[in-house]
Amino acid sequence: MSTIPSQQAGAPADDRDLQEERPAAFTRVPPQDLEAERASLGTLLLSGSPSTAGHRYFAETLETGLVAEDYYRPAHSTIHRAICALHEAGEPVDALTVAEELRQQGELARVGGPGYVQSLVQAVPTTANGPQYAEIVRAKAYLRAIVESAHRILEYAYSQEGDGDEARDLVEQQLTEILAGAPGLHEVPPTVGDLYLDFVAELESIQDGKRVGLTYGFADLDVLTSGMHPGNVTVMAAQSGVGKSTLALNAAVAAARTGATVMFSSLEMSETELMQKILAAEGQIALHHLTHQGGLTPAGWETVNRLGVELFRKLPLRVYRPEGASLADIASAARACARAKGGLGLLVVDYLQLVEVAQSRHVTREQAVASVSRGLKNLSVQLDCHVIALSQLNDDGFVRESRAIKNDASVMIRVERPDAHDPESPRAGEVDLVIEKNRFGPTASVTVAAQLHYSRFVDMAHL
């Protein structure tokens, strides 16, 4: 029989102490209040029948947001579900009906039998305080979620897996859930029946011509795609010099004009360059007048001052120019925007191939770019926002370095200028937005006008 030495030869005493103390931190009793749990259930049992004088306390207790997963004791979660099942079926709720429901489910003995269900009624000082008991239960559940998040962070740190960016990403995800009041206690996913009424309401708005997603700023493009939808990615791809950054910036400003919070992450242009482009587009001032000494006339200065008051100080558009260019940096800034403004509507990344990822000798460049593409898709879901990711095209028209970019996109737009290589083209000044992939409608080509001296694209109808 082998024995475990109390300390390895040469191991510092401090290390031994840490090894002995660490498990104890995980054996402490999590935050909970069983009396409040019993009182909450008792309130529901006493006020669950419409004929009961205090029936309103039943609704008020549930309106706190109390759900089965908030209880610390599993038996209490089971009883809560039985109460809700009877209530949703239109049946009266009391100790006898709930006990019978649990019996039919085969759960009565597991929760302590009919005697325990009846004892919950006696645990209620007054049903009028039911909402307060429920808030206590929810607060304890929230604290347990904080503890669980902290444990995940500790376990990851002790595992010494991943790099600094991955560790920060994990920490931020956990903290964002906690700060948003979403501790990760999941309910059973809804059935299609639960979703039906909301679906019909959304369907009516679509059929009535009301825009569902954020606008791209181009009428025909909005019609084909229904705008920009949360949790989805649009890839705008073009060869260098075509104007994809300008196109994306135009879309960002158009979306921000609707009141949506937008973050434009530029890995190519400086903050000054972005401001110059916005001013040129919105004020119809020639871009070269803003970039050269003495180019701005008194009328131009008047426009600058007017837009400062009417547009720039009101537009919820944030410009992020990272010192590095990692996906973790962009994700961190996007989460900060979402927390500061109660949600992020649109994230623009200019451009995808410049985003840095940790590479090893076992990871190809194609795999690295694919991981960025997948990371942006995941970020759009996590933050419930739309992402516009710009991408370079090779000379042969294919997306540079990774096919995964198109696979991850919900909408793929290839930007083509007929006059880019032929200044004498009869279509000079026109730009085709070729929709190669569209999860929300048909593929097609939308033609817009390029006014690059104003750093903007416009609908042909607006010429």
Quote the mean pLDDT of the chain: 82
Higher-confidence residue of 151 and 316: namely 316
Q: Which of 406, 452, 419 is nearest to 246 (CA)?
A: 452
Q: Region 79-96: what's the mean pLDDT? A: 88
In the predicted structure, residue 171 carries a pLDDT above the cut 70? yes
Rounded Cα distance, 113 and 115, in Å: 5
Note the pLDDT of residue 133.
93
Supply the pLDDT for residue 228: 94
Segment among 71-80, 274-283, 325-334, 437-446 with least mean pLDDT: 325-334
For 29-185, the fitting CATH number among 1.10.860.10, 3.40.50.800, 1.10.1040.50, 1.20.1740.10 is: 1.10.860.10
pLDDT of residue 21: 44
* Residue 187, pLDDT above cutoff 60: no
Query: CB of 70 within 8 A of CB of 116?
Result: no
Mean pLDDT on 108-135: 92
Beta bridge partners of 398: none
Helix (H) or strand (E) holding 387: strand 386-392
Residue with tokens 């808030």: 135
CA terminus-to-terminus distance, the chain: 89
Q: What percent of the chain has pLDDT over 90?
A: 35
pLDDT at position 328 over 60: yes
State how beta strands 386-392 and 233-238 pair: parallel
The pLDDT, as a whole number, for residue 291 is 85
In the structure, what pLDDT confidence band is assigned to residue 343 with cuts at 50, 70 and 90?
confident
Among the ranges given (4-8, 32-36, 186-190, 276-280), the one the predictor scored with the smallest mean pLDDT: 4-8
Q: Does domain 206-462 have CATH number 3.40.50.300?
A: yes
The listed range with the strongest mean pLDDT (175-184, 255-264, 368-377, 385-394) is: 255-264
Which residue would you say has higher pLDDT here, 336 or 362? 336
- pLDDT at position 266: 87
- Residue 350 binned pLDDT confidence (cut-offs 50, 70, 90): confident
For residue 348, the cross-strand partners are 264, 388
- pLDDT value of residue 393: 76
**Residue 128 scores a pLDDT above 80:** yes
Give residue 181's pLDDT.
59
Q: What mean pLDDT is predicted for residues 359-382?
A: 75
The whole-angstrom separation of Cα 61 and Cα 43 is 8
Instruction: Examine residue 57 and say whether the peptide bond preceding it is cis (omega within 30 degrees of 0).
Output: no
Q: pLDDT confidence of 110, banded at 50, 70, 90?
A: very high
3-state secondary structure 389-422: EEEEECCCCCECCCCHHHHHCCEEEEEECCCCCC
| 83-92 contacts at long range (C-beta below 8 A, 24 or more positions apart) | 83/41, 83/44, 83/45, 83/48, 86/48, 87/48, 87/58, 92/48, 92/49, 92/50, 92/51
Domain ranges in the chain are: 29-185, 206-462
Quick one: pLDDT at residue 359? Answer: 52
Output 448 or 210, whichever has higher pLDDT.
448
Q: How far is CA 141 from the centre of its chain?
A: 23
Of residues 379, 273, 252, the one with CA closest to residue 316: 252
pLDDT tier at 179, thresholds 50, 70, 90: low
Residues 6+ apart with CB under 8 A from 60: 130, 131
Closest CA to 256 of 267, 264, 244: 264
Mean pLDDT (whole number) for 154-179? 74
Tell me the C-alpha distance between 71 and 82, whole Å. 14
Given a cut of 60, whether residue 361 has pLDDT beyond it is: no
Tokens standing for residue 449: 């006008």
pLDDT tens-place string over residues 400-445: 556 677 888 899 999 988 877 777 878 888 899 999 999 988 999 9
Residue 118 confidence (pLDDT) above 60: yes
Laid out side by side, the sheet with 233-238 consists of 317-320, 262-266, 346-350, 386-392, 233-238, 411-416, 430-438, 444-451, 456-459
Question: How high is the pLDDT of residue 368?
Answer: 73
For residue 453, CA distances in Å to 85, 251, 288 come to 64, 17, 8
Query: Once rounded to an integer, what is the mean pLDDT over residues 228-235?
Result: 93
Helix (H) or strand (E) run with residue 102 in it: helix 95-105
DSSP 226-275: -SBPTT-EEEEEE-TTS-HHHHHHHHHHHHHHTT--EEEEESSS-HHHHH
